């Protein structure tokens, strides 16, 4: 007898989810006051203790730092450390708190890119326009193919252009090149702009820099390979200025800082040192970066950066049509990627009970004596700010000391909540049907289907096992049915009717062949009567589950699609019956099952 799913062999890729557990595994959690005060309190206490221990190292006596964690709605926790040793003549602030100001360096690139997305959304430019459309001084005779370099490539570190316009040529520095084995050079023969003064750390202007850039060589062809470029963002700042008619700094203030009420964030050196973090020996606090501002000129505080991260967490997929700001644009390593302009880590090594990958969307920055990183954890709805004034090596230590215990604690709390709201046995509202489905939640397996009976048929023995074989999973191999949230709702307005999809996941017990790491995601493999066969909808207010494709009905001869037959009766917890019909303004729950309360 032929399998009813045999035709799917023609269209279903023979690849199972062997490389990892499905991600995302749960809807973005809402971190309540109770979570902050009770469930996460012990984790925050442990992180505080770890950070205090790190700061006791003698090498960090001149280092101050601020760390702040925010949810989508509020700051959940912060930690600040004031350097033990400070400059006696100009100490700056002597008490680090959430208003203390640091130079955040290349995190500025995130703001530049946000301004670019705003202008793309407004129709004033296109991300896929070549940069030469806006800066015609970048001429066609240059070795760098400016006409092939789009604004999107520049923001994604895929432009192939040089890293620096100036400030990176050793010939422009006061040190003796022969001391490190380099041949001597005569600066007069280098054809450098006059602003390249080795004795003065100052910015050039565009009249000086653009001709110089035209004489530079590309690193890669555009779009070929990622390579970090500060020049790309300096030019993007010039594009924004020309498109908006404002200076770059004015545009950032009017479009981002002011609307978000980021009152401690500026490109100008703060007039007062009241909140200034001034590490012993620093010299960069008062440097005006000029045309380099779009790549690294911002001063800010942890409080302001938390405000910004809250905005990013709630708007990243709605800033411009077709742009999910957290998606990677190119790879930089096995588990790391460049975004636009994010630096992304995706690792399966952090969770204790699962190999499911966790994504960290970050952007770091560094100028002399100031080191910073923001980290967004979109799956958890969390954003972390880390600002350092002093010794650079402390940044990575703090990053690990905070993120690892934080993610593990958040993961545990998420599954406690999912178990409470989703797990259980659901039986058909129509008692004539022998139909039921059971869900169980754990950190190891996610939200999974542990039993599924439809009209007396065990779906694990029939439909699901057949499909597992079509995915290339051997009969003897272990597999499970795990649910993946789509982050969509049947009623988007009221955020009701939470939609999930069932996926068959092969249990990975040991390392297999190299190609076991190859996994193609296909969450919508087959439908039945026009409905996704694997769609599960949770109606939490009524403790109901809807299996969209398993609805009762009859075939309409004039239109061979399954449709609702008679009125579906929904039993309410108080025993009252309510009736819905397909034409009702309220949703008609098809193939609904009621949760059996424990």
* Torsion 555-560-564-566 (CA) sign: negative
**Is there a single domain that holds both residue 262 and residue 315?**
yes
Confidence of residue 566 (pLDDT cuts 50, 70, 90): very low
Least confident of 98-102, 429-433, 508-512, 565-569: 565-569
Provide φ and ψ at 527, rounded to 5°: -120, 170
* pLDDT more than 90, % of the chain: 69
Look up the domain containing 434 and give its range.
6-28+423-595
Q: Rounded mean pLDDT of the chain?
A: 87
Mean pLDDT of 63-77: 97
**Is there a single domain that holds both residue 450 and residue 588?**
yes
Q: Is residue 343 part of a domain?
A: yes
451-468 residue pLDDT tens: 999 989 999 999 999 988
**The total number of structural domains that make up the chain:** 2
Provide φ and ψ at 410, rounded to 5°: -60, -40
Q: Is residue 68 part of a domain?
A: yes
pLDDT at 52 over 70: yes
Q: Is residue 186 part of a domain?
A: no
Mean pLDDT of 48-63: 98
Mean pLDDT of 264-278: 98
Q: Is residue 301 part of a domain?
A: yes
165-176 residue pLDDT tens: 766 677 777 778
Confidence of residue 561 (pLDDT cuts 50, 70, 90): very low
**Is there a single domain that holds both residue 404 and residue 429?**
no
**Is there a single domain that holds both residue 246 and residue 365?**
yes
Burial level of 542, CB count in 10 A (0-12/13-18/19+)?
middle
**Is there a single domain that holds both residue 401 and residue 469?**
no
Mean pLDDT of 476-481: 90
Closest C-alpha to 505, from 473, 528, 544, 541:
473
Confidence of residue 37 (pLDDT cuts 50, 70, 90): confident
Give me the pLDDT at residue 1, please. 43
pLDDT at 564 over 60: no
**Is there a single domain that holds both residue 445 and residue 327?**
no
Give me the pLDDT at residue 162, please. 94
CA–CA distance, 137 with 210 (Å, rounded to integer): 7
Higher pLDDT: 435 or 50? It is: 50
**Is there a single domain that holds both residue 427 and residue 283?**
no
**Is there a single domain that holds both residue 455 and residue 350?**
no
183-231 residue pLDDT tens: 988 777 777 777 777 666 677 899 989 998 998 999 999 999 999 999 9
First to last CA, the chain: 42
**Is there a single domain that holds both residue 218 and residue 116?**
yes
**Is there a single domain that holds both residue 213 and residue 96?**
yes
Q: Is residue 191 part of a domain?
A: no
What is the CATH classification number for the domain harbouring 376?
A: 3.40.710.10
Domain boundary among 414, 431, 463: 414
**Is there a single domain that holds both residue 501 and residue 529?**
yes
Q: Is residue 16 part of a domain?
A: yes
CA-to-CA dists, residue 21 to 60, 127, 297, angstroms: 40, 34, 41
pLDDT at 84 over 50: yes
Cis check: omega of the bond before 544, within 30 degrees of 0: no
Domain boundary among 354, 379, 414: 414
Give me the pLDDT at residue 382, please. 98
pLDDT at 2 over 50: no
Confidence of residue 18 (pLDDT cuts 50, 70, 90): low
55-76: b (≥16 Cβ within 10 Å) or e: beeeebebbbbbbbbbbbeebb
Give me the pLDDT at residue 176, please. 83
Q: Is residue 183 part of a domain?
A: no
pLDDT at 589 over 70: no
Residues 6+ apart with CB under 8 A from 182: 170
Give me the pLDDT at residue 16, please. 46
Give me the pLDDT at residue 573, please. 34
Mean pLDDT of 425-434: 83
CA–CA distance, 374 with 309 (Å, rounded to integer): 8
Give me the pLDDT at residue 433, please. 80
User: pTM of the prediction?
Assistant: 0.91
Mean pLDDT of 232-252: 98
572-586 residue pLDDT tens: 333 333 333 333 333
Mark out the alpha helices in 387-525 (DSSP H runs).
394-422, 463-470
Q: Is residue 552 part of a domain?
A: yes
Give me the pLDDT at residue 279, please. 98
Confidence of residue 431 (pLDDT cuts 50, 70, 90): confident
**Is there a single domain that holds both residue 79 and residue 143?**
yes
Domain boundary among 414, 435, 457: 414
Q: What is the DSSP string of 66-79?
A: EEEEE-SSSEEEEE
Least confident of 9-13, 53-57, 111-115, 188-192: 9-13
Closest C-alpha to 229, from 328, 142, 157:
157
Higher pLDDT: 548 or 135? It is: 135
Give me the pLDDT at residue 203, please. 77
């Amino acid at each position: 007898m032929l399998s009813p799913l045999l035709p799917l062999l023609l269209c279903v890729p023979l690849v199972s989810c062997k490389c990892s557990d499905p991600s995302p595994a749960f809807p973005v959690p809402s971190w309540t006051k109770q979570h902050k005060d009770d469930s996460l309190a012990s984790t925050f206490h442990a992180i505080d203790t770890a950070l205090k221990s790190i700061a006791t190292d003698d090498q960090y006596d001149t280092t101050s730092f601020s760390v702040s964690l925010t949810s989508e709605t509020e700051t959940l926790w912060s930690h600040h450390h004031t350097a033990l040793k400070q400059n006696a003549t100009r100490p700056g602030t002597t008490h680090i708190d959430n208003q203390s100001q640091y130079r955040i360096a290349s995190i500025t690139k995130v703001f530049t890119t946000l301004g670019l997305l705003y202008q793309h959304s407004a129709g004033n430019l296109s991300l896929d326009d070549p940069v030469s459309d806006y800066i015609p001084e970048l001429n066609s005779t240059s070795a760098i193919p400016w006409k092939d370099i789009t604004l999107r490539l520049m923001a994604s570190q895929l432009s192939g252009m040089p890293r620096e316009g100036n400030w990176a040529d050793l010939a422009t520095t006061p040190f003796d090149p022969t001391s490190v084995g380099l041949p001597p050079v005569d600066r007069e023969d280098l054809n450098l702009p006059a602003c390249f003064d080795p004795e003065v750390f100052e910015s050039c202007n565009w009249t000086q820099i653009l001709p110089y850039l035209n004489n530079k060589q590309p690193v890669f062809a555009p779009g070929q390979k990622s390579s970090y470029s500060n020049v790309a963002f300096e030019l993007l700042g010039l594009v924004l200025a020309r498109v908006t008619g404002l200076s770059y700094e004015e545009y950032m203030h009017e479009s981002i800082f002011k609307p978000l009420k980021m009152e401690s964030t500026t490109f100008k050196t703060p007039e007062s040192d009241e909140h200034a973090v001034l590490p012993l020996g620093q010299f960069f606090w008062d440097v005006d970066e000029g045309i380099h501002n779009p790549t690294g000129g911002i001063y800010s505080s942890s409080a302001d950066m938390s405000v910004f991260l809250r905005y990013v967490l709630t708007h990243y997929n709605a800033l411009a049509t077709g742009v999910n700001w957290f998606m990677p644009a190119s790879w930089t390593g096995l588990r790391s990627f460049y975004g636009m302009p994010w630096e992304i880590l995706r690792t399966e090594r952090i969770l204790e009970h699962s190999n499911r990958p966790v994504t960290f969307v970050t952007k770091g920055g560094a100028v002399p004596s100031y080191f910073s990183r923001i980290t967004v954890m979109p799956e958890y709805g969390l954003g972390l700010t880390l600002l350092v004034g002093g010794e650079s090596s402390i940044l990575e230590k703090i990053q690990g000391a905070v993120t690892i215990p934080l993610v593990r604690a958040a993961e545990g709390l998420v599954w406690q909540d999912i178990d409470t709201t989703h797990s259980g046995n659901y039986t058909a509202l129509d008692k004539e049907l022998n139909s039921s489905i059971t869900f169980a939640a754990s950190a190891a397996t996610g939200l999974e289907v542990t039993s599924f009976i439809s009209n007396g048929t065990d779906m694990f023995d029939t439909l699901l096992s057949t499909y597992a074989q079509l995915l290339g999973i051997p009969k003897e191999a272990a597999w499970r049915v795990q649910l993946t949230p789509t982050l969509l709702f049947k009623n988007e307005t009221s955020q009701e009717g939470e939609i999930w999809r069932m996926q068959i996941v092969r249990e990975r017990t040991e390392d297999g062949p190299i190609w076991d790491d190859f996994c193609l995601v296909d969450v919508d493999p087959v439908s039945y009567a026009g409905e996704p066969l694997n769609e599960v909808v949770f109606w939490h207010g009524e403790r109901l589950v809807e299996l969209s494709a398993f609805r009762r009905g009859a075939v309409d001869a004039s239109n061979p699609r399954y449709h609702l037959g008679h009125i579906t009766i929904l039993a309410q917890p108080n025993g009252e019956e309510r009736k819905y019909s397909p034409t009702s303004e309220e949703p008609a729950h098809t193939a609904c099952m009621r949760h059996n309360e424990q």
